[in-house]
Amino acid sequence: MGAGSLQPSGSRLVGGPRHRRRVAVNRLVEAGCTLAAILAVAVLALVVISVLIKGLPALNLGFFTQEPAPFGQPGGGIANSIVGSAILVGLATAISVPVGIMVAVYTTQFAGPRVAGAIRFALDILNGVPTIVTGVFIFGLMVVGNQQSGWAAAVALAIVELPIVARSAQEVLALVPRSLQEAGLALGLRRWRIVVRIVVPTAAGGLITGAVLGVARVAGETAPLLFTSSIFSDLGITTSPSQAMPNIPVTIFSLSESPAPADHARAWAAALVLILFVLLLSVVARAFHERTRRRLTGR
């Protein structure tokens, strides 16, 4: 049978019903995926636009610089909540980032496959634990018998942030070219020196990205703070972690429960501030991620 006799059969295969069915299914799946992506972006846009419309009228300079007005009086700002949230997130990051990076270094550079797999599995489970469970745990561990404090809130947020930092650091450290480590071994460097002088500096941008993502994750957490730092005074700025500290998530929750329309407007404005903060951190994390990717892949 000559080559020419195969052409009609090939033509029937390309233009046959099975081929047309595959093309139709492919286009249907592409359309479904496109629609899902549009819906996801539309939901995000709807949330952001809704918060922007309802919160923007209440934003002004005093909203950022003034303390809340006394009960029953209009006006005031959330300066104390901004300071309190910054301190709590800063303490949580100072706890979780070093621990998370050290866990990632151990699992990628020193631990055996079974131990590394078990640690990754534990981090994934910890990342999936509801944050309200973390809040209850810290409440029973640090608040019962004492009082709510910034330290308890910071530890609760650090537990939430730790698996995010550790897992992202593991992924970044795994991208460091093996040839760099082998070159260090060839020069007679000890393993820990290779990690400190070669591996970690090479992946520094990605490690920073993971830390920024962790901060963005815990900046808006409310459930752990309700158990650890929600009974605070609205008068004055609190900077001591030994007592309950005002924070933006709990302030939003409290204002939204108020019957006063003015408090609702302030709640929307505080939510807008929180969204803009998370958006800024996401943009920064994305920039660091692209920088690290180009550095490690050379593209």
One domain for residues 48 and 92 = no
Exposure b/e, 7-28, CB count within 10 A at least 16 = b: eeeeeeeeeeeeeeeeeeeeee
One domain for residues 147 and 37 = no
pTM listed for this prediction: 0.82
Report the sign of the C-alpha dihedral through residues 103, 106, 107, 108, in that order.
positive
Angle between helices 261-297 and 248-256 (to 10 degrees): 150
Domain total of the chain: 2
The answer to whether the CB of 173 falls within 8 A of the CB of 199 is: yes
One domain for residues 107 and 209 = yes
Six token digits for residue 185: 């071994």
Q: For residue 34, how many other CB atoms are within 10 A of its CB?
A: 10
One domain for residues 268 and 167 = yes
Nearest to 88 by CA among 263, 274, 241: 241
**pLDDT higher than 90, residue 155:** yes
Q: Can you tell me the distance from the alpha carbon of 57 to that of 55, in angstroms, rounded to the nearest whole number?
A: 6
Using DSSP's 3-state secondary structure scheme, residue 236 falls into coil
Q: Is residue 234 part of a domain?
A: yes
pLDDT, tens digit, 9 for 90 and up, residues 30-81: 999 999 999 999 998 898 898 888 888 888 888 888 877 766 566 678 888 8
One domain for residues 53 and 86 = no
Q: Is residue 114 part of a domain?
A: yes
One domain for residues 145 and 266 = yes
Token pair 């040839």: residue? 179
One domain for residues 117 and 204 = yes
Q: Is residue 2 part of a domain?
A: no
Higher pLDDT, 232 or 75: 232
Six token digits for residue 66: 């003034």
Q: Is residue 284 part of a domain?
A: yes
Question: What pLDDT does residue 134 have?
Answer: 93
- 135 CB-near residues (< 8 Å, 6+ apart): 156, 223, 224, 225, 226, 227, 228
Question: What pLDDT does residue 175 have?
Answer: 80
Q: What is the CATH number of the domain that holds 129?
A: 1.10.3720.10
116-122-128 Cα angle (round to 5): 140
Average pLDDT value over all residues in the chain: 84
pLDDT, tens digit, 9 for 90 and up, residues 171-190: 888 887 777 777 777 777 77
User: What is the domain range of residue 22?
Assistant: 13-58
* Final residue belonging to a domain, choices 5, 24, 58: 58
